[in-house]
């Protein structure tokens, strides 16, 4: 009997690790005995990590790496299976790295990720990611629902698309989010975030910057509401 086909994919949940009212747990496997129908029945996930953001916004969701097996069907963005095992929970940055790896393995050329110092990574596509791991680097994303992350010190992560997030994890770094309904997060004390608030016509109505440890908390995601930082949980 041939080995059962298995696919690594990525699944979004609410903040309680629930999806469509069903409670999941990391490390457990689940089985669906009924018919499989995309968007209707079976266990759903996305093979390309960034497709998740179309269904689960980064500010209010949790994400996991999963293994799909048994009967499997797919459309353009979703894959549904009769069996699913929750492998591990992923941070936004880990999900971003998984997206970069997927792109590298499935395209001839990739310009969305960089590991060198003093380097630049950029992306303009919707639901896309841009990441940089070197010091003194720049990561930028202008597409809607995108992610820009930077783990190097003295670095910048910037987004300008709607509903996007900028993340910096290094020291003395800045996360800049200038698009409508964007969020930003900085991890290390001394790093900073810059947020812009816009109206429905993209006119700037407020802008504010804050330093971790003084104006904002480390590792907390913020958006700008009526000119004030509001933590997004």
String of b and e for 181-206 (b: at least 16 CB within 10 Å)?
bbbbbbbbeebbbbbbbbeeeeeeee
pLDDT in tens, 43-95: 999 988 877 877 887 778 899 999 999 999 887 778 999 999 999 999 877 88
State yes or no: pLDDT of 113 exceeds 70. Answer: no
Rounded percentage of the chain residues whose pLDDT exceeds 70:
79
The DSSP output letter for 52 is G
Q: 53 φ, ψ to 5°? A: -65, -15
- From 3.20.170, 3.30.43, 3.30.499, 1.10.3470, which CATH number describes the 7-90 domain? 3.20.170
Domain chopping of the chain, boundaries: 7-90, 115-231
Please count the other Cβ atoms lying within 10 Å of the Cβ belonging to residue 173. Answer: 27
Report yes or no: 141 and 106 within 8 Å, Cβ to Cβ: no
Q: pTM to 2 decimals?
A: 0.52
pLDDT in tens, 192-218: 999 999 988 889 999 999 999 999 999
């Amino acid at each position: 009997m041939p080995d059962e086909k298995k696919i690594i994919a990525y699944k979004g949940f609410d903040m309680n690790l629930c999806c469509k009212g069903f409670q999941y747990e990391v490390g457990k496997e689940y089985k669906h005995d009924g018919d499989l129908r995309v968007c209707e029945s079976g266990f759903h996930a996305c093979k390309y990590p960034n497709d998740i953001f179309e269904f689960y916004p980064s500010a209010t969701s949790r994400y996991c790496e999963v293994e799909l097996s048994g009967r499997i069907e797919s459309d353009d963005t979703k894959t549904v299976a009769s069996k699913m095992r929750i492998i591990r929970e992923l941070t936004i940055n880990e999900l971003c790295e998984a997206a970069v790896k997927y792109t590298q393995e499935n395209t001839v050329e990739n310009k969305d990720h960089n590991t060198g110092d003093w380097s630049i990574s950029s992306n303009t596509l919707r639901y896309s990611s841009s990441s940089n791991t070197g010091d003194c680097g720049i990561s930028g994303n202008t597409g809607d629902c995108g992610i820009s992350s930077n783990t190097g010190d003295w670095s910048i992560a910037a987004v300008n698309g709607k509903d996007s997030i900028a993340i910096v994890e290094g020291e003395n770094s800045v996360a800049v989010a200038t698009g409508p309904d964007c969020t930003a997060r900085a991890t290390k004390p001394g790093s900073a975030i810059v947020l812009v608030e816009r109206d429905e016509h993209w006119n700037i109505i407020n802008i504010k910057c804050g330093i971790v440890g003084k104006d904002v908390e480390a590792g907390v995601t913020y958006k700008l509401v009526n000119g004030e930082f509001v933590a997004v949980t």
